[in-house]
């Protein structure tokens, strides 16, 4: 099971990098998008941290 958590964390990291690259050049200061983007980034960081910390508690 911990191998699945490792894969999920890696996939989340890859998705966030792809999101960052795809947003290059976008005007993100319009319509409150920056605030939503920042909230999502913090939430994903929290999720990844919690998953990484829980990996040791999950039995293989």
Q: Where are the domains of the chain?
A: 2-54
Q: Is the dihedral of CA 10, 13, 14, 15 positive or negative?
A: positive
pLDDT value, residue 36: 87
First to last CA, the chain: 5
CA distances in angstroms from 20 to 7, 27, 39, listed in the order given = 20, 13, 14
pLDDT value, residue 46: 94
pTM: 0.72
Among candidate residues 51, 59, 53, 58, the one with its CA nearest the CA of residue 9: 51
To the nearest 10°, report the CA torsion of 34, 38, 12, 55.
Answer: -170
pLDDT value, residue 60: 55
List, for the chain, all residue ranges whose pLDDT scores fall below the cut of 70: 1, 59-60
């Amino acid at each position: 099971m911990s191998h699945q958590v490792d894969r999920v964390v890696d996939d989340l990291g890859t998705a966030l990098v792809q999101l960052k690259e795809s947003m290059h050049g976008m005007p993100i200061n319009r319509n409150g998008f920056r605030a939503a983007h920042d909230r999502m980034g913090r939430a994903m960081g929290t999720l990844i941290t919690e998953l990484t910390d829980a990996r040791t508690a999950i039995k293989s």
